[in-house]
Amino acid sequence: MNNIILREMQISDYDEVMKLLENTKGVVLREADSYDAIKTYLERNPQLNYVACNDDTIVGCTMAGHDGRRGYLQHLAVDSLYRQKGIARKLVNRTISELELISINKSHIFILRDNDNARVFWEKLGWEKRDDIDMYSFIGTADVNS
């Protein structure tokens, strides 16, 4: 844990981050996670996407953006060998702090209903489950995995 550092995610981290996300239960990757889409996302959301590194190995990541009013955490993952060490909390806190610096004071995360570990984690951090809204999505392409 002493060697863990947080740094801003770069597009050169893409392959290693995708491997981490693919190996994280409860994370679903879609076409919106393609190299080109992530490159655009990182450019649009500077200082909001981070990796946690143990020496030269990425062991955690968070990806976030905003719409000018609200922040949205897209992905959070920590390698199973590095869990329960406060890495996820540090990643989230860093992201939320950076959002607050640009006057984004309310953020959302979407988790799969059957992801009990994520639910417990977010509630432990003080995030509140919303029961007052339903989410609807529109996909403007034939690819349902966008």
The full set of domains in the chain, from first to last, is 4-124 (3.40.630.30)
Q: How far apart are the C-alpha atoms of 110 and 71, rounded to whole Å?
A: 12
Q: What is the pLDDT of residue 135?
A: 86
pTM of the model: 0.90
Instruction: List the end-to-end C-alpha distance of the chain, in Å, as a whole number.
Output: 36
Q: How far apart are the C-alpha atoms of 30 and 72, rounded to whole Å?
A: 17
- Say if residues 61 and 15 touch (Cβ distance below 8 Å): no
Compute how many other C-beta atoms are within 10 angstroms of the C-beta atom of residue 91: 24
Q: What is the pLDDT of residue 93?
A: 97
Q: How far apart are the C-alpha atoms of 54 and 70, rounded to whole Å?
A: 31
Q: In which band, very low, low, confident or very high, does the pLDDT at 144 lie, cut at 50, 70 and 90?
A: low
Q: How far apart are the C-alpha atoms of 123 and 115, rounded to whole Å?
A: 13
For residue 23 the two structure tokens come to 């190996």
* pLDDT tens digits, 96-137: 999 999 999 999 999 999 999 999 999 999 999 999 998 898
